[in-house]
Amino acid sequence: MELDILKSGSEAVILTLTGVDPNSTIQDVKRKIAFQKRAIYPERQSLRLESRGRSLDDKVVISSLNLNRGRVLYLKDLGPQIGWSTVFLAEYAGPLLAYMISFTRPYWLYGNNADLPMSYVVKIAAACWTLHYSKRIYETIFVHRFSHSTMPIMNLFKNCAYYWGFAFYIGYFVNHPLYTEPFFGKVQVYLGLISFLLNEYGNYSIHVALRDLRPPGSTERKIPMPTKNPFTFLFRYVSCPNYAYEWYSWASFSIMTQTLPAAIFTAVGFYQMAVWALGKHRNYKKEFPNYPKRRTAIVPFLL
Ligand SMILES: NC(=O)c1ccc[n+]([C@@H]2O[C@H](COP(=O)([O-])OP(=O)(O)OC[C@H]3O[C@@H](n4cnc5c(N)ncnc54)[C@H](OP(=O)(O)O)[C@@H]3O)[C@@H](O)[C@H]2O)c1
């Protein structure tokens, strides 16, 4: 059969594929397109049924599609791609380094104050920071099973600027020689620390539960449910407990260090994750008609 490939967002014909086997998949069509348009390799392509519709899964068979408006598919060029793992490693190793620069109290940053003694809170905060980003690197390598092998290269610059920038900003203030300990002293610090550690473990537990939903090598998606691990109970209430635990962690870190930059990072992170969680929640409801009704996106009962 013949298939017209139109540009997403307009009706311009990019190319016409001939001899397409109706039993071939979207992935096969992408390969055929890439054969004629070498710059648009398969990972760069998003094929859709409608001009501004959702991306079709690579495994979808052409004959199973109701090709409306004749034999037409829309192609969106996602731009140059980069491997997910590379992005995550750059995103997460950077903040470790950016935070640790100020932890070493360099003279060029703090002048003569650099010699002042370091509070125990500052050392605990550096340990928490290291734990968090080491955990993320570990998860990227050993836990997550991503469905996409690549992402747009622009995300690398955007995400790195976000994570590296905040790491330096927070590190500068927490590690500052004139840093003052929290108002309620040890009680506040250790309650913040315990809460931080529990929420980090909660976040890790959710990532493991999500990983276990997907057989190795597949891109399958299922409705996540609480497992035997008690930290996964949040699935009963929200669609993205990993994001929930993540912002509880940063709220705990902010309480522990009592610094404004950490609180701003918590607020910005919460906003971003809430936007993503709402999108994922909407998708779950669309994808699974039997999706649990009482779940919200990220804040139990509210949002
Ligand atoms: N501090 C911040 O501002 C901030 C912001 C964003 C993220 N984060 C952290 O980074 C972590 C990872 O973020 P993310 O956005 O990649 O999380 P995510 O979308 O929830 O995904 C985590 C992993 O689980 C898979 N997954 C999700 N739902 C699934 C389902 N129903 N069935 C099977 N597999 C499923 C995902 O696969 P796919 O590849 O198919 O999506 C991905 O590999 C977060 O949990 C959070 O801790 C922090």
pTM of the model: 0.84
262-277 average pLDDT score: 98
Least confident of 152-166, 234-248, 257-271: 152-166
Please answer whether residues 106 and 114 qualify as being in contact, where contact means their C-beta atoms are separated by less than 8 angstroms: yes
Residue 69 pLDDT > 60: no
Q: Which helix (H) or strand (E) is 93 found in, with range?
A: helix 84-103
Residue 168 pLDDT > 60: yes
Å from CA of 149 to ligand 1 middle: 14
Å from CA of 287 to ligand 1 middle: 17
Å from CA of 296 to ligand 1 middle: 17
CA angle 244, 240, 234 (to 5 degrees): 70
Q: Which atom number of ligand 1 is nearest to the Cα of residue 276? A: 15
235-247 average pLDDT score: 98
48-57 average pLDDT score: 86
What are the backbone dihedrals phi and psi of residue 103, each rounded to the nearest 5 degrees, phi first? -65, -30
| pLDDT of 235 | 97
Residue 269 pLDDT > 60: yes
Which residues form the pocket of ligand 1, taking CB atoms under 6 Å from any ligand atom?
A: 144-148, 203, 210, 213-214, 221-222, 224, 240, 242-243, 246, 269, 272-273
Å from CA of 150 to ligand 1 middle: 14
What would the two tokens of residue 201 be?
A: 């473990």
pLDDT (tens digit, 9 = 90+) per residue, 195-239?
999 999 999 999 999 999 998 878 888 999 999 999 999 999 999
Residue 83 pLDDT > 70: yes
DSSP letter at 8 equals T
Å from CA of 215 to ligand 1 middle: 16
What would the two tokens of residue 162 be?
A: 């976000």
Residue 185 pLDDT > 90: yes
Q: Confidence class of residue 63 from pLDDT cuts 50, 70 and 90?
A: confident
Mean pLDDT, the chain, whole residue set: 93
Substitution site in 88, 145, 240 for ligand 1 pocket (most atoms within 8 Å of beta carbon) = 145
| pLDDT of 25 | 93
Ordered structural domains, the chain, with CATH: 3-79 (3.10.20.90), 82-287 (no CATH)
Residue 68 pLDDT > 60: no
How many residues are given for the chain?
303
Closest residue CA from atom 30 of ligand 1? 221
The CA distances from residue 110 to 84, 96, 117, 130, 222, in Å, are 36, 19, 13, 22, 51
Q: Beta partners for 7?
A: 75
Residue 286 pLDDT > 80: yes
Q: Beta partners for 76?
A: 46
Q: Which atom number of ligand 1 is nearest to the Cα of residue 284? A: 31
Substitution site in 84, 143, 146 for ligand 1 pocket (most atoms within 8 Å of beta carbon) = 146
Å from CA of 153 to ligand 1 middle: 18
Residue 160 pLDDT > 80: yes
| pLDDT of 70 | 62
Å from CA of 193 to ligand 1 middle: 24
Substitution site in 213, 243, 265, 291 for ligand 1 pocket (most atoms within 8 Å of beta carbon) = 243
Q: Confidence class of residue 162 from pLDDT cuts 50, 70 and 90?
A: very high
Å from CA of 13 to ligand 1 middle: 35
Q: Is the dihedral of CA 200, 183, 123, 87 positive or negative?
A: positive
| pLDDT of 276 | 96
Q: Which atom number of ligand 1 is nearest to the Cα of residue 269? A: 3
pLDDT over 70 percentage in the chain: 99
